[in-house]
C-alpha cells in the first residue's frame, strides 16, 4: 500500500488477506479511490485513528459486504461506496453530519439503514439505485435532501397520492405554490383541459419517496401534502410522475411523518 503524509493513497490486491486489510495506526485519512475496484475486499473495520474518508474510497468494491466506520467521521464523501453491489451492512456513527452525492448509489444488496440523529443533509442520488433498500430511518435533524436521493429504490415505498409545494411567507401569510399556481388546503382546483406532464395539469406522485426525485433543497422551504387527484389521470411514461385534470390538497404531512418507515 502507498501512504503519504498519513493519507492512505492506494491499496493493492496483495495487501488484502482473507478479504480484509489492516490499516496502520499512523493513517488518519483514506484517500480518494484508495480501494477502488478491489474485488477481493469483503469487509473492512476502519480504525478510530481515521478521521476522514475521501471521495470514491471504496467505489466498485463489488464484493464488500460489511463496513464499520469509526465515531469521529463527520462526512461520508461523494460516491464513497458507489456500486458496492454486495454491501449488506454499514454503520453510520453519530458523529456524521452529512452524506454526500452518490455515496451509496448502486448498493443493490443494501436492505436497511439507520441514519443517526445529527445528520443534516443527504446528497443528490445518495441512495439511488438501491433497489433492495426497504427500510431506512431518517431523523428529524435532516434539513436538506438532494435531487434524486432515492430514485429507483423500488422497495422503499409509502403508497398514496403526494405533492410538494414551495412555501412562500409574506407578511405572516403562508402560501403554497408550484409553477406559479397557488394552492389552498381543501380547495378543489379548477379543471384543466388537455392535461400533459410538466406543461399542463396538476402533478403528483404515488410513491412518497419519488417526491425527492423531482424536488430537492431545504426541507424548511418545501411543504408536503396528501392529495386527491381528479377524474382524468395520465402517467409520464419515462418518469414515475402523474398528471391530473384537477386536484385538491387534503392535508399537509409533516416531514417527521413522511420520513419514518
pLDDT at position 237 is 61
The H or E element that residue 245 is part of is none
Phi, psi of 242 (to 5 degrees): -120, 155
CA distance 46 to 182: 50
Place of cell 484517500: 31
Determine contact, residues 41/21, Cβ cutoff 8 Å: yes
Closest CA to 21 of 42, 49, 52: 42
Query: Which pTM does this prediction carry?
Result: 0.80
Between residues 249 and 139, the one the model is more confident about? 249
- 142 is written with which cell numbers? 435532516
Mean predicted confidence (pLDDT) in 30-41: 94
Q: What is the mean pLDDT of the chain?
A: 88
pLDDT at position 220 is 80
pLDDT in tens, 70-113: 999 999 999 999 999 999 888 899 999 999 999 999 999 999 88
**DSSP 3-state assignment of 210?**
helix
Place of cell 378543489: 188
- What DSSP assignment string belongs to 92-124? --TT--EE-TTTTTT-TT--EEEPPTT--EE-T
pLDDT in tens, 208-249: 888 877 777 677 888 999 999 998 888 876 567 889 999 999
- 85 is written with which cell numbers? 453491489
Amino acid at each position: 500500500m502507498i501512504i503519504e503524509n498519513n493519507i492512505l493513497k492506494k491499496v493493492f490486491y496483495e495487501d488484502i488477506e482473507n478479504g480484509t486489510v489492516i490499516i496502520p495506526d499512523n493513517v488518519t485519512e483514506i484517500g480518494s479511490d484508495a480501494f477502488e475496484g478491489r474485488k477481493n475486499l469483503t469487509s473492512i473495520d476502519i480504525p478510530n485513528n481515521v478521521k476522514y474518508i475521501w471521495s470514491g474510497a471504496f467505489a466498485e468494491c463489488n464484493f464488500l459486504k460489511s463496513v464499520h466506520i469509526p465515531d469521529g467521521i463527520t462526512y461520508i464523501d461523494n460516491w464513497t461506496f458507489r456500486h458496492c453491489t454486495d454491501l449488506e451492512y454499514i454503520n453510520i456513527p453519530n458523529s456524521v453530519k452529512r452524506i454526500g452525492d452518490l455515496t451509496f448509489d448502486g448498493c443493490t444488496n443494501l436492505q436497511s439503514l439507520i441514519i443517526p440523529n445529527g445528520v443534516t443533509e443527504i446528497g443528490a442520488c445518495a441512495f439511488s439505485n438501491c433497489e433492495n433498500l426497504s427500510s431506512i430511518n431518517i431523523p428529524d435533524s435532516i434539513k436538506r435532501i438532494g435531487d434524486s436521493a432515492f430514485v429507483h429504490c423500488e422497495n422503499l415505498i409509502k403508497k398514496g397520492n403526494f405533492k410538494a409545494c414551495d412555501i412562500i411567507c409574506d407578511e405572516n401569510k403562508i402560501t403554497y405554490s408550484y409553477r406559479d399556481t397557488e394552492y389552498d388546503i381543501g380547495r378543489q382546483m379548477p379543471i384543466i383541459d388537455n392535461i400533459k406532464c410538466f406543461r399542463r395539469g396538476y402533478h403528483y406522485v404515488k410513491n412518497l419517496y419519488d417526491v425527492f426525485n423531482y424536488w430537492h433543497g431545504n426541507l424548511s422551504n418545501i411543504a408536503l401534502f396528501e392529495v386527491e387527484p381528479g377524474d382524468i389521470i395520465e402517467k409520464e411514461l419515462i418518469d414515475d410522475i402523474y398528471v391530473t385534470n384537477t386536484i385538491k390538497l387534503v392535508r399537509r404531512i409533516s416531514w417527521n411523518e413522511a420520513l419514518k418507515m
